């Protein structure tokens, strides 16, 4: 079987701050040469202190505005087709198989969760979902995630609590079935029960779609539910150590201090 692959090669990224239109755009280098190779069905955990650039890495792969790749590459191979993502727009990347669950999912007034999801599903699959089965699939998945049906007709993430937003992200993950899923602190802000519900959802989606996953987290707790094949320590814009799941356990006791000096 041919494996799909997501490679990050010597990636350097600046954040571009052009708040003041007439000033010269301020650029600050955040990622300083990141290397990573994720095969389908693998789980890579990235752990590291706040401000080390983990979300920047996630945003750069997904093509978020405000980030500029200054050198290096992001290369995606799906079904034997290899392409660089760097010059693709965010929607092109998503249709190529990338999914980002944001650390703080954006609220969007003017579109309901269900309309959003149906439009996204149509865009990703290239055909509209079967009307007969669509609503059932949506509601069944929501039920598994312990989301009330009423969320489907609410404006996307507007007034959702932190935990509800995270569930809504995993709902999208389950429905859209990407090739690679980047989950940016999906565990943070969830209580024990919600964490289990959300992790069950991630595991269901992964069993179903066999995607490769990049799991960004602060805590080792999520790794009890979702077993990582690799653990990477991230500090100051780069991966400073990699290992297997035992590395996470070590970090739990030692902390990140040793890496930030």
Partner 1 sequence: MDKILNQSAKKHYVLGENQVLDLLVVQMHDADCEVDIKVDLEGIGSNVNIFGIYFASAGQIIQNRVVVNHIAPKCTSSILYKGALLGSGAKTSWDGFVNIGENAVNTDTYETNRNLLLSEGASAVSVPNLEILTGDIVRAGHASATGRFDDQQLFYLMSRGIDAKTAQKLIVRGFFEEIIQNAELDDLEQTEIFKQLERKIDEVR
Ligand X SMILES: Nc1ncnc2c1ncn2[C@@H]1O[C@H](COP(=O)(O)OP(=O)(O)O)[C@@H](O)[C@H]1O
Contact set with partner 1 (CB under 8 A): 62-66, 89-91, 93-95, 98-100, 102, 105-112, 115-116, 119-120, 123-124, 155-156, 172, 176
The least distance separating ligand X from the CB of residue 186, rounded to whole angstroms, comes to 13
Q: Which of 40, 52, 55, 141 binds Mg ion (CB under 5 A)?
A: 55
Q: Coil, helix or strand for 43?
A: strand
Compute how many residues bind Mg ion; rule: CB under 5 A: 3
Q: Which of residues 12-71 bind ligand X (CB under 6 A)?
A: 15, 17, 28, 30, 48, 50-56, 66
**Cα angle at 199 between 230 and 136, to 5 degrees?**
130
28 binds, among partner 1, Mg ion, ligand X, none (CB under 5 to 8 A by kind): ligand X
Evaluate whether 97 touches 78 at the Cβ level (below 8 Å).
yes
Taking the complex as a whole, the smallest distance from the CB of residue 162 to Mg ion amounts, in Å, to 14
Phi-psi domain of 57 (left: phi exceeds 0; alpha: psi -120 through 50; beta: other): alpha
Q: Is 240 in the site for ligand X (CB under 6 A)?
A: no
Q: How far apart are CA 128 and CA 120, in angstroms?
A: 9
**Which does residue 62 bind out of partner 1, ligand X, Mg ion, none, counting CB within 5 to 8 angstroms by kind?**
partner 1
Angle 40-184-145 from CA coordinates, rounded to 5°:
85
Smallest distance from ligand X to CB 17, Å: 5
DSSP 137-190: HHHHHHHHTT--GGGGGSBTTTT--HHHHHHHHHHHHHHH--SEEEEESTTTT-
Which is nearest to 172 in space by CA: 105, 222, 79, 109? 105
Contacted entry of Mg ion, partner 1, ligand X, none for residue 53, CB cut-off 5 to 8 Å set by kind: ligand X
Stretch that binds Mg ion, among 25-33, 76-84, 95-103, 247-255 (CB under 5 A): 95-103
Residues that bind Mg ion (CB under 5 A): 54-55, 103
Residues that bind ligand X (CB under 6 A): 15, 17, 28, 30, 48, 50-56, 66
């Amino acid at each position: 079987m041919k494996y799909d692959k997501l490679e990050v090669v010597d990636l350097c990224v600046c954040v571009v701050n052009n708040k003041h239109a007439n000033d010269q755009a301020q650029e600050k280098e955040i990622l300083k040469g990141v290397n990573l190779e994720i095969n389908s069905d693998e789980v890579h955990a990235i752990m590291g202190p706040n401000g080390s650039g983990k979300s920047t890495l996630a945003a750069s792969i997904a093509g978020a505005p405000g980030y500029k790749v200054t050198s290096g590459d992001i290369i995606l191979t799906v079904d034997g087709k290899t392409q660089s993502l760097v010059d693709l727009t965010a929607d092109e990347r998503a249709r190529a198989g990338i999914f980002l669950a944001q650390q703080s999912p954006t609220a969007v007034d003017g579109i309901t969760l269900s309309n959003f999801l149906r439009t996204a599903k149509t865009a990703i699959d290239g055909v509209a979902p079967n009307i007969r089965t669509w609503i059932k699939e949506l509601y069944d998945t929501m039920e598994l995630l312990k989301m009330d049906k009423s969320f489907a007709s609410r404006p996307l993430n507007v007034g959702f609590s932190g935990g509800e937003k995270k569930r809504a992200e995993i709902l999208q993950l389950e429905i859209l079935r990407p090739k690679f899923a980047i989950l940016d602190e999906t565990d943070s802000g969830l209580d024990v029960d919600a964490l289990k519900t959300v992790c069950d959802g991630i595991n269901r989606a992964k069993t179903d779609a066999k995607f490769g996953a990049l799991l960004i987290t602060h805590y080792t707790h999520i790794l009890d539910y979702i077993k990582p094949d690799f653990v990477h320590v991230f500090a100051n814009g780069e991966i400073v150590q990699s290992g297997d799941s035992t590395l996470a356990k070590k970090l739990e006791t030692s902390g990140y201090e040793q890496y930030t000096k």
